[in-house]
Copies of this chain bind each other. A is one copy, B any other.
Amino acid sequence: MTRSGSYHHGDLRRALLDAAAEAMAESGVAELSLRDLARRAGVSHAAPAHHFGDKAGLLTALATEGYQLLGEALREGDDGLLEAGVAYVRFAVRHPAHFEVMFRPDLHRADDQDLAAARARTRELLRGGVAQHTGRDPDVDSLAAWSIVHGFATLWLSGALPPRLGTDPEAAARTVIRRLFS
């Protein structure tokens, strides 16, 4: 992607977002540095500012991308509520950086237009998926389902869960989600 020797990068925005996701997956947000991302992309330390303004701007873009990716993950399959929950967990584990920044309003600009739009669309998908598969209060069911998959994903990512569960988060998630439907 990097056109070496060229003054212009080619697709610096994409490269910075990828580098940010990679760096965060490795060592967490705490150690994320714009200057390090710039080094990874082979540009000067001030280049990121032009594309994202500041650090919050970059993370806002990452969060927006996260909601889009989660939306796609939920749309795929359409195998019912259980598999939608598994898809939620799979997304979180495969894209831990996106997932984290999506739910950390202190890291992004929650009122950003693009972010708000992507977030609203994906949330509607979350609610809609539940409403058609339940016979009870859809509000409560929706919230319970969201809570249980979100909690499982968060606990898994934080390393809080016992090693007894093995290395396959999707299998473990399936068991837990099923518990909600019995």
Min Cβ gap A150→B in Å is: 4
Chain A contacts with B in 27-47, Cβ cutoff 8 A: 27-31
Q: Which residues of B contact A105 (CB under 8 A)?
A: 158-159
A107-B30 in contact given A141-B179, A176-B140, A180-B179 (Cβ < 8 Å): yes
Residues of A in contact, count (CB < 8 Å): 37
**How far, in angstroms, from A180 to B107 measured CA to CA in the complex?**
32
**Chain A at the B interface: SS class:** helix
Q: Which residues of B contact A171 (CB under 8 A)?
A: none
**How far, in angstroms, from A31 to B56 measured CA to CA in the complex?**
12
Can you identify 23 A-B contacts, CB atoms within 8 angstroms? A28-B104, A28-B107, A29-B30, A29-B106, A30-B106, A104-B158, A105-B158, A105-B159, A139-B164, A140-B179, A143-B165, A143-B172, A144-B148, A144-B180, A146-B151, A147-B148, A147-B155, A147-B176, A148-B148, A148-B151, A148-B180, A149-B151, A151-B154
